Amino acid sequence: MSIGHTLLGLLESGPRHGYDLKRAFDEKFGHDRPLHYGQVYSTMSRLLKNGLVVVDGIEAGGGPERKRYAITEAGITDVAQWLATPEKPEPYLQSTLYTKVVLALLTGRGAAELLDTQRAEHLRLMRELTRRKRDGDFADQLICDHALFHLEADLRWLELTAARLDRLAEEVRR
């Protein structure tokens, strides 16, 4: 995810302080990985340097000065271009899981047990996401569906690999 583009998109609704940007990001996108304040301010500094935002105001308070940022026309154009550019599909051709299976076979360890353990972990996470989906709002349901579909694909691969383990062992040991 492009944090810079996401923060720019959040600024399109109007100027905000860094604290407000962090709160909005965490609420909409950061359920599992909230932003650190330092990340917000370093990103805003970079966007300011690149002319994509301006400081719209500075407020003095009990602590450090609070800058309010506003998006520029260049920032709006940048977000529009980012939104219009399709994401590159990630085929996962060099997955860690595949590497572990092959190394288990090469070293005489239990690849079937590795697959079973991984299957159990996938199922555990799927149960957790299903609970979160049931209890969440509509946006949370959509993000959970995305994760669940990927986990389902992984499970299909785990099953297929388990069924072909003997053949894979022959191939990798040549």
The mean pLDDT value for 118-139 works out to 95
Q: How confident is the model at residue 100 (pLDDT cuts 50, 70, 90)?
A: very high
Dump strand ranges (E) for the chain.
Answer: 16-17, 53-59, 66-71
Question: What mean pLDDT, rounded, does the chain reach?
Answer: 91
Cα dihedral value 147, 125, 139, 36, nearest 10: -90
Q: Find the mean pLDDT for residues 83-92.
A: 82
Q: How far apart are CA 155 and CA 80, in angstroms?
A: 36
Q: What is the dihedral of CA 136, 138, 140, 145, to 10 degrees?
A: 110
Percent of the chain with pLDDT over 90: 72
Cα-atom radius of gyration of the chain, to the nearest Å? 23
3-state secondary structure of 96: helix
Q: Are 152 and 127 in contact (CB under 8 A)?
A: no
Query: Quick check: 21 and 11 in contact, CB under 8 A?
Result: yes
Model-level pTM? 0.72
Residue at 68: amino acid letter: R
The amino acid present at 25, given as its one-letter code, is: F
Q: What is the pLDDT of residue 94?
A: 65
The H-assigned helical ranges of 87-137 are 96-106, 111-135
Burial class (CB in 10 A: 0-12, 13-18, 19+), 52: buried
pLDDT tens digits for 18-51? Answer: 999 999 999 888 877 889 999 999 999 999 999 9
Pairing mode of beta strands 16-17, 66-71: antiparallel
Q: Name the residue among 82, 107, 103, 105 with its Cα closest to residue 168.
A: 105
